[in-house]
């Protein structure tokens, strides 16, 4: 018959056997001395039983002294595993190894309790925010089945979340949102409403499984408000410019009509007619330039990106302005992917504005560039020594200008070029001296 595998002894039994083995030589020596000491049988049995009882009592006491603290530690760790952080070891001593172990377990329990409370509070806050925000949030697993949806998502899909969970993205009309560019703005109709939506995507993990996150926000109202404000500003500026041209044309046309109706005609009638027609032609040409500038602003094509040396471009543009001294502060050798023609036009406009401002005070213009930030960005600045900006609120309003012959589209066009390159353009008065500072930032 095959031999059965012997079960290994437990830790408490090993400790008991080791304690018995440690006391066995002393017990054996004591019994031997009693046996050969010539004592009576009564004495031998009395002391023999006493020695054996003491031997077994101390052995079991040693076992309990080792096993009971380990059982306490086991109970504490089991409570921690069950996420019950209220248990503590009672008054552990700090002057021995066992007390230090108990102290560390108590500290671990306190730390886990604080972290657990923090996680519960953060989770409750996140759930509350998810329920209250007016943004639809969906989480789908690797099989494109819905695993999470907030209250706004329920309203968007027109069903309670209990009916939505487990259904595929195609069944919920969300399949197209998993492909294509993101973020993006698109028009769509859902069971809970139609309009213009902004889509953002991301990833998260729940229970160790990766989930795809879809975030949909209705931007129709915000875009309508922005469009309305833009139209109001545009109509205000257009009305101002049109009135500036049509009012004198109407007045002069009425005066010329009265001259034609006058009988007999005066000797200087022809001269007055010519002067009036000259003014009408001048105002018509001004109005034509205005509409042409508007067309340029509306027809800005997308940039054609290509490699571009920053230092070479800025040095060449600086040579084009000869009315005032241009001081170029050299920067690092940088390469940029940009539309050469558009970026050159932007820099020419900035230098021209700076030169116009410096001409009023007899100052100069400084041009420089550098690298900053992570990810890396190109910083280009143009500083003038002019009188500064009296009003910075309307700088980027189309057709707003402080120059007598200005069109009011240079800065607006420049900002459009910068934003088309995923950059920004800002203007502000200098703090260290008189004048203005233009700051162009583009990603490298």
Are the folds of 133-218 and 306-443 the same? no
Q: Please report how many Cα atoms fall inside a 13 Å half-sphere around the Cα of residue 241, on the Cβ side.
A: 25
What confidence tier does 146 reach under pLDDT thresholds 50, 70, 90?
A: confident
- In words, the CATH class of domain 133-218 is alpha beta
Query: What's the pLDDT score for residue 417?
Result: 85
**What are the residue ranges spanned by the domains of the chain?**
11-81, 133-218, 223-298, 306-443
Q: Which two tokens stand for residue 111?
A: 């730390």
Whether residue 413 has pLDDT greater than 80: no
- The DSSP H or E segment spanning 295 is helix 269-298
pLDDT digits 0-9 by tens, 179-238: 888 788 888 888 877 778 888 888 877 777 888 888 888 877 776 777 677 667 666 666
CB within 8 A of 11, min separation 6: which ones?
67, 70
Dihedral, 82, 87, 93, 98 alpha carbons, nearest 10: -20
Q: What are phi and psi of 433, to 5 degrees?
A: -160, 180
Contacts 24+ apart (CB under 8 A), 224-233: 233/397, 233/398
**What is the Cα–Cα distance from 381 to 271, expressed in whole angstroms?**
52
Quickly tell me which residue has 């139209």 as its tokens. Answer: 231
Cβ burial 158-178 (10 Å sphere, 16+ → b, else e): ebeeeebeebebeebebeebe
Query: What's the pLDDT score for residue 82?
Result: 78
Architecture of domain 306-443: 2-Layer Sandwich (3.30)
Quickly tell me which residue has 């099989």 as its tokens. Answer: 143
Antiparallel, parallel or unpaired: β 335-338 and 424-429: unpaired
Query: What's the pLDDT score for residue 265?
Result: 67
Please state the pTM of the whole predicted model.
0.43
Query: What's the pLDDT score for residue 81?
Result: 80
C-beta of residue 141 within 8 angstroms of C-beta of residue 120 = no
| 143: Cα separation from own chain's centroid | 28
Q: Is the dihedral of CA 414, 419, 421, 427 positive or negative?
A: positive
Whether residue 405 has pLDDT greater than 70: no
Whether residue 400 has pLDDT greater than 60: no
Lowest-pLDDT choice from 88-92, 343-347, 373-377, 436-440: 88-92
Share of the chain above pLDDT 70, in %: 84
C-beta of residue 430 within 8 angstroms of C-beta of residue 436 = yes
Give the residue from 392, 310, 403 showing the smallest Cα distance to 352: 403
């Amino acid at each position: 018959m095959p031999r059965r595998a012997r079960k290994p002894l437990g830790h408490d039994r090993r400790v008991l056997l080791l304690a018995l083995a440690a006391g066995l030589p002393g017990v054996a020596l004591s019994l031997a001395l009693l046996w050969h000491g010539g004592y009576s049988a009564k004495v031998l049995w009395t002391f023999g039983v006493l020695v054996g009882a003491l031997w077994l009592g101390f052995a079991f006491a040693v076992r309990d002294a080792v096993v009971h603290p380990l059982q306490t530690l086991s109970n504490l760790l089991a409570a921690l595993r069950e996420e019950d952080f209220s248990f503590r070891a009672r008054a552990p001593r700090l002057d021995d190894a066992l007390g230090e172990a108990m102290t560390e377990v108590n500290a671990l329990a306190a730390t886990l309790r604080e972290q657990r409370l923090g996680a519960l509070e953060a989770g409750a806050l996140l759930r509350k925010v998810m329920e209250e925000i007016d943004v639809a949030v969906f989480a789908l697993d690797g099989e494109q089945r819905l695993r999470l949806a907030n209250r706004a998502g329920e309203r968007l899909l027109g069903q309670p979340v209990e009916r939505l969970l487990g259904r595929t993205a195609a069944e919920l009309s969300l399949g197209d949102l998993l492909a294509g560019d993101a973020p993006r703005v698109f028009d769509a109709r859902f069971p809970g409403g139609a309009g213009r939506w902004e889509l953002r995507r991301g990833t998260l993990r729940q229970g160790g499984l990766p989930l795809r996150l879809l975030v949909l926000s209705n931007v129709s109202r915000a875009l309508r408000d922005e469009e309305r404000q833009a139209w109001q500003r545009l109509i205000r500026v257009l009305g101002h410019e049109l009135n500036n041209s049509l009012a004198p044309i109407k007045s002069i046309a009425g005066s010329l009509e009265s001259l034609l109706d006058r009988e007999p005609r005066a000797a200087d009638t022809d001269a007055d007619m010519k002067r009036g027609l000259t003014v009408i032609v001048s105002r018509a040409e001004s109005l034509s330039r205005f509409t042409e500038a508007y067309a340029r602003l509306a027809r800005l094509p997308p940039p054609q990106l290509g490699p571009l040396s920053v230092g070479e471009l800025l040095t060449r543009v600086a040579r084009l302005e000869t009315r005032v001294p241009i001081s170029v502060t050299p920067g690092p050798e940088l390469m940029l992917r940009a539309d050469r023609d558009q970026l050159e036009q932007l820099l020419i406009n900035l230098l021209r504005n700076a030169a116009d401002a410096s001409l009023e005070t007899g100052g100069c213009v400084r041009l420089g560039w550098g690298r900053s930030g992570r990810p890396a960005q190109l910083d280009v600045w143009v500083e003038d020594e002019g009188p500064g900006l009296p009003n910075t609120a309307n700088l980027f309003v189309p057709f707003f200008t402080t120059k007598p012959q200005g069109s009011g589209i240079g800065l607006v066009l420049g900002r459009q070029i910068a934003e088309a390159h995923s950059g920004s353009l800002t203007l502000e008065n200098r703090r260290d001296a008189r004048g203005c500072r233009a700051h162009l930032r583009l990603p490298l």
